[in-house]
Structure 1
Amino acid sequence: MSKESNKIYTVGQMAKLCRISPELLRYLDKQNIFRPVARNPKNNYRCYSEEQLQDLLLIMELRRLGLAYSTISELIDDRDLSAAKSVLEKNLINMRREINLMQNKYHQVVDLLIRVSSSMNLTNRSVSDSDPQIKIEYVPERLVLYTRYPRDIDIELNYIQHYIELLKLVDQFELTCTGPITLVYHDHFSRMFNAGGKEIMGDLEVNISVANSNSECKQLRKFGGFTAATFTYLGHYRELEDGYYKMKEWAESLGHEVSGVSFQELVVGRTITSNEKNFVTKVFLPLEMIAI
């Protein structure tokens, strides 16, 4: 063995050579990932051999690639190529999953930003049910995650419990949400407005579009695939009743018939802003399929 190969480095010297902090070396030692070859008997300082430089450089390279220290420790302890291949493949799968999750979150943030921006644009003009800008459009079919059961449909609280349940299902089945919450009133739309503070039981569904499926989740279904009359309203949900009736009258005046249950998309609601004047709701009444 050459004289150079017997060279011993202190924590500071080793850290300087590898351009890392001394604190990191001490951390790796405490975690049993990279231990010093010996301790100085005079002062108990950590001592590293020149041969250990290769191990430390490997640790830094693997860490730079995003591997956890626990994974790196496995590779350092077992230099068998088959074992290394298995560990790296497993880590690659986890990295792909994390990339997909980040991409999904990115698209959700973009969608939310678009909805918030549209709300800000609407505040610059009056969009009320006194003169709703009604139109007819096609509602594309999409996969939705939903909850549905009879309950009090007080307009102030009608979707909160459902929304919480949806969030739990999203986490449980690793689903990716896209777009706003949709409230579907399987009773006549007039029942959603709780006049006089009385409790009104109604058949309420709350759903949200999802970008992926999961065969284990039983609360996924197709929604859409029809034509509907629609308008967008700026303000609180409780003020939508007149707009619903005007939209129904408008559609019937053109010879159309309501052919399905009403629903509304909470483009911007209480989960985004506390200012009720900035709530944005898109209201729909399904019609018979007609040429637009």
Structure 2
Amino acid sequence: MYKIGDFSKITNLSVKALRYYDEENILKPSFRNEENFYRFYDDNDFKKAELIILLRELNFSISEIKDVMKIYEGQADLSYILEEKKDMVKKKIIEEKSLLKKIKLYIKPKLMEDNNINYKIAFKDIPAVKVASIRYSGKYSDCGKYFDRIYKVIKGDATGAPLNCYYDDDYKEDADIESCVPTLKQVCDSAVTTKELPPIRAISTIHTGTYESINMAYKAIFDYTQEKRVNCLTPSREIYIKAPGMIFRGNPNNYITEVIIPIE
């Protein structure tokens, strides 16, 4: 048996850390003196300490270490746990890369210029249009995979630029979206529907640049409709006049999107 000071030396864990792990039920001493409450550790505790040190080196959080200590029974368990941690790290890397892209937008001097674009607002009568579409609930960035599915079904029979219809009145984490591609082709597919978008009276503007800054186009429209006391309806539409390719994204500063909002 090892006293806490000796155990600290052989594990390279401070006494403070050992006491903390005891309080958090991560590494409790195998024996505690009832009279003076001294902690004593054995070889089994040493193996647990080695595991904790490894998990710390692999950047496991305290809550994750707690969870591991509850379910760990041997090396086979650790292999499964590390595979899961690897997937979590990969997901985090993707999220961090996305964050870096957003940060870069705010580093560029051009951003402030983009925020001050003078959007040209126009009233339009939009005719009915036949489309192949998929309606779904998901993130705004999910539309690429749905457009990909639609294009595979209609093959080369698109008759116009792809567009999204947004059915929510406000921003949603899981939005009600319909991705559409104009076509005269009648499709037969379990996920893709052929339908006609109705004619609408609308107000529109053209946004040139990244999708991250397209909110400025909506602001311009809503500022105008408030000034003119025009009532907006749903679904709004975004027509992707110039958009990323299926393989290469190209220069996002050159994307061209028409933002269309139906009005009464």
Alignment TM-score, normalising by the size of structure 1: 0.47
Confirm whether residue 180 of structure 1 aligns to residue 180 of structure 2: no
Confirm whether residue 213 of structure 1 aligns to residue 186 of structure 2: yes
- Give the conservation status (yes or no) of the 8 Å contact 1:137–1:227: yes
Alignment-derived partner of residue 163 in structure 1: 147
Structure 2 distance, partners of 1:188, 1:210, is: 27
Alignment-derived partner of residue 127 in structure 2: 140
Confirm whether residue 268 of structure 1 aligns to residue 242 of structure 2: yes
Letter of the structure 1 residue corresponding to residue 256 of structure 2: V
> CA 1:227/1:247 → structure 2, altered by over 3 Å: closer, same or farther?
same
Deviations 1:97-146 (A, max 9, x none): xxxxxxxxxxxxxxxxxxxxxxxxxxxxx987632111111111010100
State the structure with more CA Rg.
1
Alignment-derived partner of residue 218 in structure 2: 244
Measured after TM superposition, the shift of residue 216 of structure 1 is 7.6
> CA 1:203/1:252 → structure 2, altered by over 3 Å: closer, same or farther?
same
Structure 2 distance, partners of 1:236, 1:140, is: 27
> Which runs of no fewer than 5 residues in structure 1 stay unpaired?
1-125, 192-199
Measured after TM superposition, the shift of residue 184 of structure 1 is 1.2
- Give the conservation status (yes or no) of the 8 Å contact 2:206–2:217: no
Deviations 1:211-240 (A, max 9, x none): 233578860111140111100011011101
> CA 1:202/1:214 → structure 2, altered by over 3 Å: closer, same or farther?
closer
> CA 1:213/1:249 → structure 2, altered by over 3 Å: closer, same or farther?
same
Q: CA RMSD in A?
A: 2.4
Structure 2 distance, partners of 1:169, 1:152, is: 22
> CA 1:221/1:129 → structure 2, altered by over 3 Å: closer, same or farther?
farther
Measured after TM superposition, the shift of residue 287 of structure 1 is 0.4
- Give the conservation status (yes or no) of the 8 Å contact 1:248–1:285: no
| SS of alignment partner, residue 258 of structure 2 | strand
Structure 1 distance, partners of 2:199, 2:258, is: 17
Measured after TM superposition, the shift of residue 267 of structure 1 is 0.4
> CA 1:214/1:169 → structure 2, altered by over 3 Å: closer, same or farther?
closer
Measured after TM superposition, the shift of residue 243 of structure 1 is 1.9
Alignment-derived partner of residue 199 in structure 2: 225
Letter of the structure 2 residue corresponding to residue 263 of structure 1: R
Confirm whether residue 282 of structure 1 aligns to residue 258 of structure 2: yes
Structure 2 distance, partners of 1:225, 1:129, is: 32
Confirm whether residue 130 of structure 1 aligns to residue 117 of structure 2: yes
Deviations 1:223-272 (A, max 9, x none): 14011110001101110112202202212322321122211001001117
Between 279-288 and 180-189, report the one with greater CA deviation: 180-189
> CA 1:135/1:222 → structure 2, altered by over 3 Å: closer, same or farther?
same
Structure 2 distance, partners of 1:274, 1:161, is: 17
Structure 2 distance, partners of 1:225, 1:284, is: 12
Letter of the structure 2 residue corresponding to residue 158 of structure 1: D
Structure 2 distance, partners of 1:141, 1:133, is: 24
Percent of counterpart pairs with the same letter? 15
Alignment-derived partner of residue 23 in structure 2: none
Structure 2 distance, partners of 1:201, 1:255, is: 30
